Amino acid sequence: MANQHNDAVPALDIRGLQAWYGESHILHGVDLTVQHGEVVTLLGRNGAGRTTTLRAIMGLTGTRKGSIRINGNETIHLPTHKIAHYGIGYCPEERGIFSSLSCEENLLLPPRLKGTSDSNSMSEDEIYQMFPNLAERRNSQGTRLSGGEQQMLAVARILRTGANLLLLDEISEGLAPVIVQALARMILTLKKKGYTVVMVEQNFRFAAPLADRFYVMEHGTIVERFAASELQPKMPVLHELLGV
């Protein structure tokens, strides 16, 4: 089964990852490991290669070299649709909500991943408990949802597929503080349920209390890595690297 995992094997293990868009060489040997049930945040300035790292994991860049293991399975040579079957869900910055469909139709659109048991995928009821806003708007058209509701829908849609390794790109960007707080509660709930989350986040104040570990990227490589417990002593370095 694609989604059964052995906790001794990392959920995600990246070694020497290089990636290109056409001729542009973006990632220059990224090493990154995420254990099951961890929330890991990729920090860095715009253009540092964080989104490209998520896209490369999903096979959405041009050429890729190196190693990307999901639950111990090498995926560097696989196409995107096969990578998804390893229980990985990607929430891109642009969200990808179908505007002509209702909230509920959007939610039910993606198929369940093959090899994931029903116990892995959240039921509609569970999703609506977690996102009461979506329950209220279930019959509203995609375009009528606020930015925050669209963001919640984008994440909820992935949870329904049975994915348990979530790649979230800038989910708090441009949203009202009250929605950002709701998204923070969502991530803590997912963590309690045993999900593994990799977040790319510009909003340091949103990411800092949620993450177990941090990686800092610059020019397509990892330049710093540290645990949440080391955050305070690392703040001067982060000021320098990120201007936070």
In the chain, what are the domain boundaries?
12-242
Q: What is the pLDDT of residue 203?
A: 87
Tokens of 178: 């009250």
pLDDT band at 118 (very low <50, low <70, confident <90, very high): low
Burial 41-75 (b: 16+ CB within 10 A, else e): bbbbeeebbbbbbbbbbbbbbeebebebbbbeeeb
Q: Are the C-beta atoms of residues 40 and 195 closer than 8 Å to each other?
A: no
Q: What is the pLDDT of residue 225?
A: 95
Q: Find the DSSP H helices in the chain.
A: 50-57, 80-84, 103-108, 124-130, 132-136, 147-161, 177-192, 204-207, 231-242
Q: What is the pLDDT of residue 2?
A: 46
pLDDT band at 117 (very low <50, low <70, confident <90, very high): low
Tell me which DSSP letter residue 141 carries: B
Q: What is the pLDDT of residue 99?
A: 86
Q: What is the pLDDT of residue 153?
A: 93
Q: Are the C-beta atoms of residues 134 and 103 closer than 8 Å to each other?
A: yes
Cα–Cα nearest to 154, from 84, 106, 210, 207: 106
Residue 219 pLDDT greater than 50, yes or no: yes
Tell me which DSSP letter residue 158 carries: H
Q: Quick count: other Cβ atoms within 10 Å of Cβ 170?
A: 19
pLDDT band at 114 (very low <50, low <70, confident <90, very high): low
What does the mean pLDDT of the chain come to? 90
Q: Which of 6-20, 118-132, 162-176, 215-229 has the lowest mean pLDDT?
A: 118-132
Query: 12-242: what fold?
Result: Rossmann fold (3.40.50)
Residue 1 pLDDT greater than 50, yes or no: no
pLDDT band at 8 (very low <50, low <70, confident <90, very high): confident
